[in-house]
Amino acid sequence: MAVSLQAPTQLAPIRGIRLASCGAGIRYRDRDDLVLVDAGPHASIAALFTRNAFCAAPVQVAREHLDAGQGRWLLINAGNANAGTGESGLRAALATCEGVATLTSDPISAVLPFSTGVIGEPLPVERIHAALPGLLAGLQEDAWIQAGRAIMTTDTVLKGASRTVRLSNGEVTLTGIAKGSGMIHPDMATMLAFIGTDARIDRVSLHALLERAADNSFNAITVDGDTSTNDSLVCMASGTSGVQPTEPEDMEIFARALDSVCLALAEAIVRDGEGATKFVRIMVRGARDRVEAQRVAETVALSPLVKTALFASDPNWGRILAAIGRAGVEDFEIDRVALSVNGVEIARAGGRAPGYTEAAGQRAFGQEELDIDIDLFRGDRWYRKYTCDFSHDYVSINADYRS
């Protein structure tokens, strides 16, 4: 069960962006598993992809198509990653793009494919082709929730967020959906995420804003330290509102709205981490630079011993100090480190804080949401990381995933 996470009951439609989903029988029965998105003829599309060298065929094709020109169509399937499939996988990804292009009379480079699911299985192209006419006929602007459900795999909760902001020359709306529950780690954090806006913004500016938003959201989360072969984050700007954030103030307002959508989706992924029972924010402050703070936060977040202690609600704070100590910080002064959890001061000057009691620690660690605050007292830089615990269910889910 996801930690304090409810599925949205409605998501704002985006003018000019239409979606449709259906059950194509790719892997699942009795549920939708295929999505088609029309971003519009004049859309700007920016995307970030996995840095895993063993990237999936759809990632390779989507990158090439974006580089080749103006994207318009997104074709997304769940249940089959089309990864580890070699040349036949590339041919399959291209064939699905060609199916859309043939029906829409658009160039094949206008179609961007995305897949998620089991690695190493051939993509059932014929099932996707058979479903395309119905998807094209069913496109509508208010189908974000249906699309969000269709892209889920081991997710237990639909993930979506909407924001509306007013700029100096009008109002713009942003809506996003995401899937992700396991294989969650930066570069890109493992997931598929699709965000739309009716703002009018060029692709170069959109890409820069997306990189900024991802840095403090999708690239700041981890569940298990595994980065997938298929990670993709896409932002589509249809331009249909006619509102263009050109002034610095407007650009910052828009950027903050995009940041907010990305963080909401990223947090939802961690809250729905496979088997998660705790949602954890790790704040490292007092670092000499951001890289140093990030290294400490990530070491703590990835520690199996820390994560299993959190699952047990065990205030075994020595595991946190041990993780900090092996983070590789140069000239580290352990006698300056301070640690608190949910406002309870646990360690000061590298040791147990005066006044700390096991009962206070138990109350802090027993909460569903944990704020772990680490101060290195070395500088003024900070970094925040989002993670969850490791439970028995994490092992069960991943042991049984292909069954």
Q: Which residues are catalytic?
A: 190
**What distance in Å separates the CA atoms of residue 371 and residue 348, rounded to the nearest whole number?**
17
Contacts of 75 (CB under 8 A, 6+ apart): 34, 35, 36, 37, 96, 97, 100, 111, 112, 113, 114, 128
C-alpha 128/C-alpha 130 separation (Å) is 5
**3-class secondary-structure state, position 176:** strand
Residue type, 63: R
Structure tokens at 91: 């041919």
- Which amino acid, one-letter code, is at 348? R
Contacts of 116 (CB under 8 A, 6+ apart): 76, 77, 78, 79, 81, 151, 153, 179, 192, 230
CA–CA separation, 197 vs 45, rounded Å? 10
Residues making up the chain, counted from first to last: 403
